[in-house]
Amino acid sequence: MAKLRASPSGPLRGTVRVPGDKSISHRALILGALAAGRTTVTGMLEGDDILSTAGALRALGARIERQADGRWVVDGPGLGSFQEPGGVLDLGNSGTGARLMMGVVATQPFTSFFTGDASLCKRPMARVTDPLRRMGAQVLARSGARLPLAITGSEESTPIEYTLPVPSAQVKSAILLAGLGTAGETTVIEPEPTRDHTERMLRRFGATVRVKDEIIDGKKLRYVTVVGEPELRPNAVNVPGDPSSAAFLAVAALSVPGSEIRIENVGMNPLRIGIFDSLREMGGDIRFENRRDQDDEPTADILVKASRLQGIRVPAERAPSMIDEYPVFAMAASLAKGTTRMEGLAELKVKESNRLAAIAVGLKACGVRVAEDGDALTVEGLGGAPPGGAMVDAALDHRIAMAFLVLGLSSKSAIGVDGTETIATSFPGFASLMGSLGASIVIPNR
Ligand code: S3P
Protein backbone atom coordinates (compact mmCIF):
# COMPACT_ATOMS: atom_id res chain seq x y z
CA MET A 1 0.00 0.00 0.00
CA ALA A 2 1.15 3.56 -0.70
CA LYS A 3 2.61 5.50 2.19
CA LEU A 4 3.14 9.21 2.84
CA ARG A 5 4.93 10.97 5.67
CA ALA A 6 4.10 14.44 6.97
CA SER A 7 6.86 16.25 8.88
CA PRO A 8 6.83 19.34 11.04
CA SER A 9 6.75 22.19 8.51
CA GLY A 10 7.47 25.89 8.31
CA PRO A 11 4.61 28.37 7.99
CA LEU A 12 2.06 27.58 5.28
CA ARG A 13 1.52 30.50 2.94
CA GLY A 14 -0.15 31.16 -0.38
CA THR A 15 -3.37 31.31 -2.34
CA VAL A 16 -4.84 28.08 -3.69
CA ARG A 17 -7.99 26.43 -4.97
CA VAL A 18 -9.17 23.00 -3.88
CA PRO A 19 -10.72 20.44 -6.27
CA GLY A 20 -14.42 20.60 -7.11
CA ASP A 21 -17.12 19.62 -4.64
CA LYS A 22 -17.59 15.85 -4.56
CA SER A 23 -21.31 15.91 -3.73
CA ILE A 24 -22.10 18.45 -6.44
CA SER A 25 -19.92 16.66 -9.04
CA HIS A 26 -21.82 13.38 -8.53
CA ARG A 27 -25.14 15.17 -8.92
CA ALA A 28 -24.03 17.11 -12.02
CA LEU A 29 -23.16 13.87 -13.81
CA ILE A 30 -26.31 12.08 -12.70
CA LEU A 31 -28.74 14.89 -13.56
CA GLY A 32 -26.82 15.47 -16.81
CA ALA A 33 -27.49 11.84 -17.73
CA LEU A 34 -31.15 12.07 -16.69
CA ALA A 35 -31.75 15.16 -18.89
CA ALA A 36 -31.96 14.32 -22.61
CA GLY A 37 -29.32 16.38 -24.46
CA ARG A 38 -25.95 17.93 -23.66
CA THR A 39 -24.95 19.13 -20.19
CA THR A 40 -21.54 20.72 -19.60
CA VAL A 41 -19.73 20.76 -16.28
CA THR A 42 -16.77 22.94 -15.29
CA GLY A 43 -14.78 22.62 -12.06
CA MET A 44 -15.65 18.92 -11.81
CA LEU A 45 -13.85 16.88 -9.18
CA GLU A 46 -11.72 14.43 -11.15
CA GLY A 47 -11.44 12.01 -8.25
CA ASP A 48 -11.89 8.25 -8.32
CA ASP A 49 -15.36 8.45 -6.72
CA ILE A 50 -16.64 10.66 -9.52
CA LEU A 51 -14.99 8.51 -12.20
CA SER A 52 -16.85 5.50 -10.72
CA THR A 53 -20.19 7.29 -11.03
CA ALA A 54 -19.31 8.34 -14.58
CA GLY A 55 -18.54 4.69 -15.39
CA ALA A 56 -21.91 3.54 -14.01
CA LEU A 57 -23.76 6.19 -16.03
CA ARG A 58 -21.87 5.21 -19.19
CA ALA A 59 -22.94 1.59 -18.62
CA LEU A 60 -26.55 2.86 -18.60
CA GLY A 61 -26.05 4.60 -21.96
CA ALA A 62 -24.82 8.13 -21.16
CA ARG A 63 -21.88 9.54 -23.13
CA ILE A 64 -19.51 11.30 -20.75
CA GLU A 65 -16.23 12.84 -21.87
CA ARG A 66 -13.59 15.18 -20.54
CA GLN A 67 -12.56 17.78 -23.09
CA ALA A 68 -9.01 19.12 -23.50
CA ASP A 69 -9.98 22.41 -21.80
CA GLY A 70 -11.06 20.53 -18.66
CA ARG A 71 -14.79 20.86 -19.34
CA TRP A 72 -16.84 17.70 -18.98
CA VAL A 73 -19.59 16.96 -21.48
CA VAL A 74 -22.51 14.69 -20.60
CA ASP A 75 -24.82 13.54 -23.39
CA GLY A 76 -27.78 12.24 -21.47
CA PRO A 77 -30.13 9.61 -22.86
CA GLY A 78 -32.76 11.14 -20.58
CA LEU A 79 -35.05 9.81 -17.90
CA GLY A 80 -36.60 6.53 -19.04
CA SER A 81 -34.17 5.95 -21.94
CA PHE A 82 -31.45 4.13 -20.04
CA GLN A 83 -30.29 0.70 -21.19
CA GLU A 84 -29.66 -2.37 -19.08
CA PRO A 85 -25.99 -2.35 -18.07
CA GLY A 86 -24.02 -5.21 -19.62
CA GLY A 87 -21.81 -5.67 -16.56
CA VAL A 88 -21.67 -5.03 -12.84
CA LEU A 89 -21.74 -1.35 -11.77
CA ASP A 90 -18.61 -0.99 -9.63
CA LEU A 91 -18.80 2.17 -7.52
CA GLY A 92 -15.36 1.65 -5.98
CA ASN A 93 -15.07 3.47 -2.63
CA SER A 94 -18.06 5.74 -3.21
CA GLY A 95 -21.10 5.53 -0.93
CA THR A 96 -22.63 8.55 -2.65
CA GLY A 97 -22.16 7.03 -6.10
CA ALA A 98 -23.65 3.68 -5.04
CA ARG A 99 -26.64 5.06 -3.16
CA LEU A 100 -27.61 7.75 -5.67
CA MET A 101 -27.27 5.33 -8.59
CA MET A 102 -29.54 2.83 -6.78
CA GLY A 103 -32.18 5.55 -6.71
CA VAL A 104 -31.69 6.20 -10.43
CA VAL A 105 -32.15 2.54 -11.50
CA ALA A 106 -34.98 1.79 -9.04
CA THR A 107 -37.55 2.94 -11.60
CA GLN A 108 -35.85 1.51 -14.71
CA PRO A 109 -37.35 -1.70 -16.13
CA PHE A 110 -34.23 -3.86 -15.98
CA THR A 111 -31.80 -5.39 -13.50
CA SER A 112 -28.63 -3.64 -12.38
CA PHE A 113 -25.88 -5.28 -10.32
CA PHE A 114 -23.85 -3.15 -7.89
CA THR A 115 -20.55 -3.73 -6.19
CA GLY A 116 -17.68 -1.73 -4.70
CA ASP A 117 -14.36 -2.04 -2.89
CA ALA A 118 -13.82 -3.75 0.48
CA SER A 119 -14.87 -0.57 2.34
CA LEU A 120 -18.07 0.00 0.34
CA CYS A 121 -19.07 -3.69 0.58
CA LYS A 122 -19.17 -3.32 4.39
CA ARG A 123 -21.41 -0.25 4.43
CA PRO A 124 -25.15 -0.41 5.21
CA MET A 125 -27.40 -0.18 2.17
CA ALA A 126 -30.75 -1.16 3.76
CA ARG A 127 -31.28 2.54 4.49
CA VAL A 128 -31.64 2.98 0.70
CA THR A 129 -33.05 -0.39 -0.36
CA ASP A 130 -35.90 -0.25 2.22
CA PRO A 131 -37.53 2.92 0.79
CA LEU A 132 -36.76 1.86 -2.80
CA ARG A 133 -38.52 -1.46 -2.16
CA ARG A 134 -41.51 0.47 -0.85
CA MET A 135 -41.55 2.33 -4.15
CA GLY A 136 -41.71 -1.01 -6.02
CA ALA A 137 -38.09 -1.95 -6.77
CA GLN A 138 -37.01 -5.55 -6.19
CA VAL A 139 -33.71 -5.95 -4.41
CA LEU A 140 -31.65 -9.10 -4.00
CA ALA A 141 -28.93 -8.55 -1.45
CA ARG A 142 -26.88 -10.33 1.16
CA SER A 143 -27.24 -9.82 4.90
CA GLY A 144 -27.60 -6.20 6.01
CA ALA A 145 -28.37 -5.35 2.35
CA ARG A 146 -24.66 -4.85 1.83
CA LEU A 147 -23.06 -4.90 -1.62
CA PRO A 148 -22.90 -6.76 -3.93
CA LEU A 149 -26.63 -6.50 -4.64
CA ALA A 150 -29.02 -6.45 -7.57
CA ILE A 151 -31.96 -4.11 -8.19
CA THR A 152 -34.75 -4.72 -10.66
CA GLY A 153 -36.52 -1.46 -11.24
CA SER A 154 -40.26 -1.04 -11.42
CA GLU A 155 -41.89 0.80 -14.30
CA GLU A 156 -45.03 1.20 -12.20
CA SER A 157 -43.33 2.64 -9.14
CA THR A 158 -45.34 4.13 -6.31
CA PRO A 159 -44.67 7.58 -4.83
CA ILE A 160 -44.01 7.48 -1.08
CA GLU A 161 -43.82 9.78 1.90
CA TYR A 162 -40.79 8.67 3.86
CA THR A 163 -39.29 9.86 7.13
CA LEU A 164 -35.53 9.43 7.16
CA PRO A 165 -34.49 7.11 10.02
CA VAL A 166 -30.92 8.49 9.80
CA PRO A 167 -29.86 12.01 8.79
CA SER A 168 -28.48 11.17 5.34
CA ALA A 169 -28.40 13.27 2.19
CA GLN A 170 -27.50 10.15 0.26
CA VAL A 171 -30.70 8.39 1.31
CA LYS A 172 -32.78 11.52 0.71
CA SER A 173 -31.22 11.92 -2.74
CA ALA A 174 -31.72 8.27 -3.71
CA ILE A 175 -35.45 8.60 -2.92
CA LEU A 176 -35.79 11.93 -4.76
CA LEU A 177 -34.04 10.46 -7.83
CA ALA A 178 -36.38 7.47 -7.72
CA GLY A 179 -39.20 10.00 -7.34
CA LEU A 180 -38.24 11.52 -10.70
CA GLY A 181 -39.10 8.25 -12.41
CA THR A 182 -42.37 7.86 -10.48
CA ALA A 183 -45.71 9.43 -11.43
CA GLY A 184 -47.03 11.63 -8.60
CA GLU A 185 -45.32 13.34 -5.69
CA THR A 186 -42.59 11.73 -3.60
CA THR A 187 -41.82 13.29 -0.21
CA VAL A 188 -38.85 12.82 2.08
CA ILE A 189 -39.27 14.06 5.66
CA GLU A 190 -36.06 15.09 7.40
CA PRO A 191 -35.99 15.33 11.21
CA GLU A 192 -32.54 16.93 10.81
CA PRO A 193 -31.78 18.85 7.61
CA THR A 194 -28.93 17.47 5.50
CA ARG A 195 -27.05 18.94 2.52
CA ASP A 196 -29.52 20.06 -0.13
CA HIS A 197 -27.42 19.96 -3.31
CA THR A 198 -29.86 17.54 -4.97
CA GLU A 199 -32.83 19.82 -4.36
CA ARG A 200 -30.96 22.88 -5.65
CA MET A 201 -29.70 21.16 -8.76
CA LEU A 202 -33.00 19.43 -9.54
CA ARG A 203 -34.66 22.85 -9.69
CA ARG A 204 -31.89 24.09 -11.96
CA PHE A 205 -32.60 21.20 -14.33
CA GLY A 206 -36.30 22.11 -14.40
CA ALA A 207 -37.85 19.74 -11.86
CA THR A 208 -40.43 20.99 -9.37
CA VAL A 209 -39.13 20.60 -5.81
CA ARG A 210 -41.03 21.99 -2.83
CA VAL A 211 -39.43 22.38 0.59
CA LYS A 212 -41.33 23.32 3.73
CA ASP A 213 -40.52 23.26 7.42
CA GLU A 214 -43.23 22.25 9.89
CA ILE A 215 -43.26 21.98 13.65
CA ILE A 216 -44.97 18.77 14.73
CA ASP A 217 -45.15 17.90 18.46
CA GLY A 218 -42.54 20.58 19.13
CA LYS A 219 -40.10 19.07 16.63
CA LYS A 220 -39.09 20.78 13.42
CA LEU A 221 -39.43 18.59 10.34
CA ARG A 222 -38.37 19.41 6.79
CA TYR A 223 -40.63 18.13 3.98
CA VAL A 224 -38.91 17.80 0.61
CA THR A 225 -41.25 16.92 -2.26
CA VAL A 226 -40.36 16.20 -5.88
CA VAL A 227 -42.97 16.05 -8.64
CA GLY A 228 -42.35 12.92 -10.73
CA GLU A 229 -41.78 12.49 -14.46
CA PRO A 230 -40.56 16.02 -15.21
CA GLU A 231 -39.05 17.08 -18.53
CA LEU A 232 -35.49 17.74 -17.34
CA ARG A 233 -33.53 20.39 -19.26
CA PRO A 234 -29.82 19.88 -19.91
CA ASN A 235 -27.71 22.54 -18.26
CA ALA A 236 -24.32 24.15 -17.69
CA VAL A 237 -23.01 23.47 -14.19
CA ASN A 238 -20.05 25.23 -12.51
CA VAL A 239 -18.87 23.21 -9.53
CA PRO A 240 -17.40 25.24 -6.64
CA GLY A 241 -14.43 24.06 -4.54
CA ASP A 242 -15.22 21.42 -1.94
CA PRO A 243 -15.55 22.81 1.62
CA SER A 244 -14.74 19.33 2.94
CA SER A 245 -11.39 19.45 1.12
CA ALA A 246 -10.80 23.08 2.15
CA ALA A 247 -11.22 21.99 5.79
CA PHE A 248 -7.91 20.05 5.65
CA LEU A 249 -6.06 23.16 4.51
CA ALA A 250 -7.84 25.33 7.07
CA VAL A 251 -6.91 23.08 10.01
CA ALA A 252 -3.32 22.82 8.72
CA ALA A 253 -3.03 26.63 8.52
CA LEU A 254 -4.57 27.11 11.98
CA SER A 255 -2.13 24.59 13.46
CA VAL A 256 1.23 25.47 11.90
CA PRO A 257 2.55 28.64 13.61
CA GLY A 258 2.94 31.66 11.34
CA SER A 259 0.66 30.32 8.60
CA GLU A 260 -1.62 32.49 6.52
CA ILE A 261 -3.46 31.08 3.50
CA ARG A 262 -6.32 31.97 1.18
CA ILE A 263 -8.51 29.27 -0.36
CA GLU A 264 -10.49 30.67 -3.28
CA ASN A 265 -13.96 29.82 -4.50
CA VAL A 266 -15.11 27.36 -1.85
CA GLY A 267 -18.73 26.16 -1.59
CA MET A 268 -20.51 27.79 1.36
CA ASN A 269 -23.77 25.84 1.37
CA PRO A 270 -25.15 26.53 4.88
CA LEU A 271 -25.73 22.80 5.40
CA ARG A 272 -22.03 22.02 4.79
CA ILE A 273 -20.04 24.56 6.78
CA GLY A 274 -20.46 23.54 10.42
CA ILE A 275 -16.69 22.89 10.52
CA PHE A 276 -15.91 26.57 10.09
CA ASP A 277 -18.38 27.54 12.84
CA SER A 278 -16.72 25.03 15.16
CA LEU A 279 -13.16 26.13 14.35
CA ARG A 280 -14.11 29.77 14.86
CA GLU A 281 -15.72 28.93 18.20
CA MET A 282 -12.36 27.44 19.18
CA GLY A 283 -10.76 30.80 18.44
CA GLY A 284 -9.65 30.08 14.87
CA ASP A 285 -8.97 33.14 12.72
CA ILE A 286 -11.08 32.25 9.69
CA ARG A 287 -12.62 34.91 7.47
CA PHE A 288 -14.82 34.78 4.41
CA GLU A 289 -14.40 37.25 1.56
CA ASN A 290 -15.83 37.73 -1.88
CA ARG A 291 -19.10 35.99 -1.06
CA ARG A 292 -21.18 35.32 -4.16
CA ASP A 293 -23.48 32.77 -5.77
CA GLN A 294 -22.18 30.32 -8.33
CA ASP A 295 -25.18 28.78 -10.08
CA ASP A 296 -27.41 27.87 -7.15
CA GLU A 297 -24.71 27.46 -4.52
CA PRO A 298 -23.13 30.20 -2.37
CA THR A 299 -19.31 30.42 -2.47
CA ALA A 300 -16.56 32.52 -0.85
CA ASP A 301 -12.80 32.82 -0.49
CA ILE A 302 -11.58 31.61 2.91
CA LEU A 303 -8.70 33.31 4.72
CA VAL A 304 -7.08 31.35 7.53
CA LYS A 305 -4.35 32.45 9.94
CA ALA A 306 -2.56 30.31 12.51
CA SER A 307 -4.38 30.61 15.84
CA ARG A 308 -4.33 29.38 19.41
CA LEU A 309 -7.34 27.09 19.79
CA GLN A 310 -9.48 26.35 22.85
CA GLY A 311 -11.41 23.12 23.40
CA ILE A 312 -15.21 23.32 22.89
CA ARG A 313 -18.31 21.14 22.99
CA VAL A 314 -19.74 20.44 19.54
CA PRO A 315 -23.47 19.71 19.87
CA ALA A 316 -25.12 16.75 18.14
CA GLU A 317 -27.35 19.09 16.07
CA ARG A 318 -24.27 20.30 14.23
CA ALA A 319 -23.21 16.81 13.12
CA PRO A 320 -24.99 16.72 9.71
CA SER A 321 -23.38 20.01 8.64
CA MET A 322 -19.83 18.83 9.42
CA ILE A 323 -20.21 15.07 9.17
CA ASP A 324 -17.19 14.53 6.90
CA GLU A 325 -15.01 16.97 8.82
CA TYR A 326 -14.78 15.24 12.23
CA PRO A 327 -11.51 13.45 11.37
CA VAL A 328 -9.69 16.70 10.67
CA PHE A 329 -11.60 18.55 13.39
CA ALA A 330 -10.35 15.98 15.92
CA MET A 331 -6.79 16.87 14.85
CA ALA A 332 -7.48 20.54 15.65
CA ALA A 333 -8.95 19.43 18.99
CA SER A 334 -5.76 17.57 19.87
CA LEU A 335 -3.71 20.80 19.52
CA ALA A 336 -6.22 22.99 21.35
CA LYS A 337 -5.99 23.94 25.00
CA GLY A 338 -8.52 21.94 27.03
CA THR A 339 -11.09 19.30 26.27
CA THR A 340 -13.18 19.04 23.11
CA ARG A 341 -16.29 16.90 23.19
CA MET A 342 -18.11 15.96 19.99
CA GLU A 343 -21.59 14.47 20.33
CA GLY A 344 -24.07 12.67 18.06
CA LEU A 345 -21.48 10.85 15.96
CA ALA A 346 -23.29 7.53 15.32
CA GLU A 347 -23.08 8.03 11.54
CA LEU A 348 -19.29 8.29 11.73
CA LYS A 349 -19.19 4.55 12.40
CA VAL A 350 -20.57 3.73 8.92
CA LYS A 351 -18.50 5.98 6.69
CA GLU A 352 -15.62 4.81 4.48
CA SER A 353 -14.26 3.37 7.75
CA ASN A 354 -15.48 3.36 11.32
CA ARG A 355 -14.17 6.89 11.70
CA LEU A 356 -14.86 7.10 15.41
CA ALA A 357 -12.57 4.11 15.99
CA ALA A 358 -10.00 5.17 13.38
CA ILE A 359 -9.65 8.67 14.89
CA ALA A 360 -9.28 7.24 18.40
CA VAL A 361 -6.70 4.59 17.42
CA GLY A 362 -4.64 7.07 15.37
CA LEU A 363 -4.68 9.85 17.97
CA LYS A 364 -3.64 7.46 20.75
CA ALA A 365 -0.72 6.27 18.60
CA CYS A 366 0.28 9.95 18.20
CA GLY A 367 0.29 10.53 21.96
CA VAL A 368 -3.10 12.23 22.35
CA ARG A 369 -5.60 11.20 25.03
CA VAL A 370 -8.97 10.41 23.52
CA ALA A 371 -12.08 8.60 24.73
CA GLU A 372 -14.98 7.12 22.80
CA ASP A 373 -18.21 6.82 24.75
CA GLY A 374 -21.24 5.68 22.82
CA ASP A 375 -21.74 8.19 20.01
CA ALA A 376 -19.42 10.81 21.50
CA LEU A 377 -15.72 11.45 21.23
CA THR A 378 -13.67 13.40 23.76
CA VAL A 379 -10.20 14.67 22.91
CA GLU A 380 -7.89 16.02 25.62
CA GLY A 381 -6.10 18.84 23.83
CA LEU A 382 -2.42 19.31 24.55
CA GLY A 383 -2.42 23.09 24.04
CA GLY A 384 0.39 22.66 21.52
CA ALA A 385 2.19 20.12 19.34
CA PRO A 386 1.35 16.46 20.00
CA PRO A 387 4.23 13.94 20.09
CA GLY A 388 3.33 12.28 16.72
CA GLY A 389 5.95 9.80 15.56
CA ALA A 390 3.47 7.06 14.58
CA MET A 391 2.46 5.13 11.45
CA VAL A 392 -1.33 5.37 11.06
CA ASP A 393 -3.42 2.98 8.94
CA ALA A 394 -5.80 4.92 6.66
CA ALA A 395 -8.34 2.04 6.83
CA LEU A 396 -9.35 2.57 3.16
CA ASP A 397 -10.54 6.04 4.19
CA HIS A 398 -9.32 9.17 2.38
CA ARG A 399 -10.34 11.52 5.19
CA ILE A 400 -8.53 9.52 7.88
CA ALA A 401 -5.42 9.56 5.68
CA MET A 402 -5.51 13.34 5.09
CA ALA A 403 -6.43 14.18 8.70
CA PHE A 404 -3.34 12.45 10.13
CA LEU A 405 -1.08 13.95 7.46
CA VAL A 406 -2.37 17.37 8.54
CA LEU A 407 -1.55 16.50 12.16
CA GLY A 408 1.97 15.48 11.15
CA LEU A 409 2.71 19.05 9.99
CA SER A 410 2.41 20.40 13.53
CA SER A 411 3.54 17.37 15.57
CA LYS A 412 6.91 17.08 17.31
CA SER A 413 7.85 14.07 15.15
CA ALA A 414 6.66 13.11 11.67
CA ILE A 415 3.48 11.04 11.18
CA GLY A 416 3.34 8.36 8.49
CA VAL A 417 0.11 7.17 6.90
CA ASP A 418 -0.27 3.77 5.23
CA GLY A 419 -2.91 3.36 2.51
CA THR A 420 -2.80 6.86 1.06
CA GLU A 421 -3.95 5.84 -2.46
CA THR A 422 -7.50 6.36 -1.23
CA ILE A 423 -6.85 10.15 -1.05
CA ALA A 424 -7.41 10.22 -4.82
CA THR A 425 -11.11 9.41 -4.29
CA SER A 426 -11.84 12.99 -3.19
CA PHE A 427 -8.66 15.09 -3.29
CA PRO A 428 -6.31 14.19 -6.15
CA GLY A 429 -3.08 16.18 -5.82
CA PHE A 430 -3.49 16.68 -2.05
CA ALA A 431 0.21 16.21 -1.19
CA SER A 432 1.48 18.47 -3.98
CA LEU A 433 -1.08 21.21 -3.23
CA MET A 434 -0.07 21.12 0.43
CA GLY A 435 3.57 21.17 -0.72
CA SER A 436 2.90 24.36 -2.72
CA LEU A 437 1.88 26.02 0.57
CA GLY A 438 5.08 24.87 2.28
CA ALA A 439 3.98 21.59 3.85
CA SER A 440 6.32 18.61 3.85
CA ILE A 441 4.29 15.58 2.79
CA VAL A 442 6.49 13.08 0.96
CA ILE A 443 6.86 9.40 0.12
CA PRO A 444 9.08 7.97 2.87
CA ASN A 445 12.44 6.45 1.82
CA ARG A 446 11.86 3.17 3.58
C1 S3P B 1 -22.93 12.94 0.87
C2 S3P B 1 -23.60 12.81 2.05
C3 S3P B 1 -22.95 12.39 3.31
C4 S3P B 1 -21.45 12.54 3.26
C5 S3P B 1 -20.87 12.03 1.98
C6 S3P B 1 -21.46 12.76 0.78
C7 S3P B 1 -23.67 13.32 -0.35
O8 S3P B 1 -23.25 11.04 3.55
O9 S3P B 1 -20.85 11.87 4.35
O10 S3P B 1 -19.46 12.18 1.96
O11 S3P B 1 -23.05 13.70 -1.35
O12 S3P B 1 -24.91 13.25 -0.31
P13 S3P B 1 -24.64 10.61 4.28
O14 S3P B 1 -25.72 11.07 3.44
O15 S3P B 1 -24.60 9.10 4.36
O16 S3P B 1 -24.57 11.25 5.62
Q: What is the pLDDT of residues 55-67, one digit of tens each?
A: 999 999 999 999 9
- Mean pLDDT of all residues in the chain? 97
Q: For residue 122, how far is its CA from the centre of ligand 1 (angstroms)?
A: 16
Do the beta carbons of residue 406 and residue 379 sit within 8 Å?
Answer: no
Q: 324 CB under 6 A from ligand 1?
A: yes
Q: 323 CB under 6 A from ligand 1?
A: yes
Q: What is the pLDDT of residues 95-121, one digit of tens each?
A: 999 999 999 999 999 999 999 999 999
Do the beta carbons of residue 225 and residue 186 sit within 8 Å?
Answer: yes
Q: For residue 23, how far is its CA from the centre of ligand 1 (angstroms)?
A: 7
Q: What is the pLDDT of residues 279-299, one digit of tens each?
A: 999 999 999 999 999 999 999
Residue 219 pairs in a beta bridge with 216
pLDDT recorded at residue 446: 65
CA distances from 209 to 156, 180, 194, 198, 392 (A): 21, 10, 16, 10, 44
| pLDDT bracket for residue 10 (50, 70, 90) | confident
pLDDT recorded at residue 144: 84
Sheet with 260-267: strands ordered across: 13-17, 260-267, 297-305, 285-294
Q: 244 CB under 6 A from ligand 1?
A: no
Q: Whose CA is nearest to atom 4 of ligand 1?
A: 324
Q: Whose CA is nearest to atom 13 of ligand 1?
A: 168
| Mean pLDDT of the 214-240 span | 96
Rounded Cα gap, residues 174 and 243, in angstroms: 22
Domains and CATH numbers, the chain: 3-20+240-442 (3.65.10.10), 22-238 (3.65.10.10)
Do the beta carbons of residue 103 and residue 176 sit within 8 Å?
Answer: yes
Q: 157 CB under 6 A from ligand 1?
A: no
Model-level pTM? 0.98
Q: Whose CA is nearest to atom 9 of ligand 1?
A: 324
Residue 324 catalytic? Answer: yes
Q: 119 CB under 6 A from ligand 1?
A: no
